Amino acid sequence: MLDIRDLTAAYGPVTALDGVSFTAPEGKITAVLGANGAGKTSLLRTISGLLRPTKGTAYLAGKDLSRVPVERMSRLGLAHVPEGRGVITELTVEENLRLGGLGRSARAKPADLERIYTLFPKMADRRHKTAHVLSGGERQMLVIGRALLATPKVLLLDEPSLGLAPRIVAQIFDLLKSLVESDGLTIVLVEQNARSALSIADYGVVLNLGKLVVHDDAAVLAADDKLRHAYLGF
């Protein structure tokens, strides 16, 4: 579904990604792991066009994304939830959700707000409040809900567990798992929290200093003691 080929990107003279290649298969969760500064966030930003690759390409269902403007991505079926800043706190909960539906894939049906409210009943009660009344976990659920309204084929998630209590993280990861099963969504999940991420992921990719270290089944990665100690910190 999402093919990354030799993707290379830089911030000025600093190389952020160095020839990364892997495939995120359809209907599966691929976890992207690695230490701070390994290039995880840069990888997602390069895929969605916020950062332009200096070499290499990402293909979404065969379509070359390297020349597509960021604004077009959501209509092609690529949703990117950036790290920690996804909610527009000045807008109401419902406005955030409506915004997601406006950029939906070209041929999708109109957005179904009620489905999101059924998934997150707490949000339905506060649909007309500004989003800054939401807690961290609720904000993360709001941005995931908003991304769903864009009817994506591929969902890029940057550190959804950041700053959240373990119980909330478990809730969010359960939700992701069920979305993959019900919608056939393809998820690329960037995580610092490698243990939790590998517990729901089908595949894992480990980055270090912008380079791909290993790409394998999640279970294989979780069982590899040397790899875990060296790169994953658990």
Positions touching other proteins (CB under 8 A) are: 48, 50, 70-75, 79-82, 85-86, 88-91, 95, 98-100, 102-104, 132, 135-136, 139, 146, 150, 163
Distances (CA, A) of 223 to 115, 143, 216: 38, 32, 11
* Bridge partners, 29 (sequence order): 187
Residue 217 CB, nearest distance to other proteins (Å)? 30
* Cβ–Cβ under 8 Å, residues 117 and 194: no
Q: Which amino acid is at 146?
A: R
Residue 80 CB, nearest distance to other proteins (Å)? 5
118 Cβ neighbours under 8 A, 6+ residues apart: 124
* Cβ–Cβ under 8 Å, residues 44 and 188: yes
Helices (H) and strands (E) in the chain, counts: 10, 10
Strands 203-208 and 29-33 come out as parallel
Please say which residue, 146 or 215, places its beta carbon nearer to other proteins: 146
What count of residues does the chain have? 234
Residue 190 CB, nearest distance to other proteins (Å)? 15
Q: What angle do CA 185, 186, 189 make, to 5 degrees?
A: 120
Residue 111 CB, nearest distance to other proteins (Å)? 11
Residue 37 CB, nearest distance to other proteins (Å)? 20
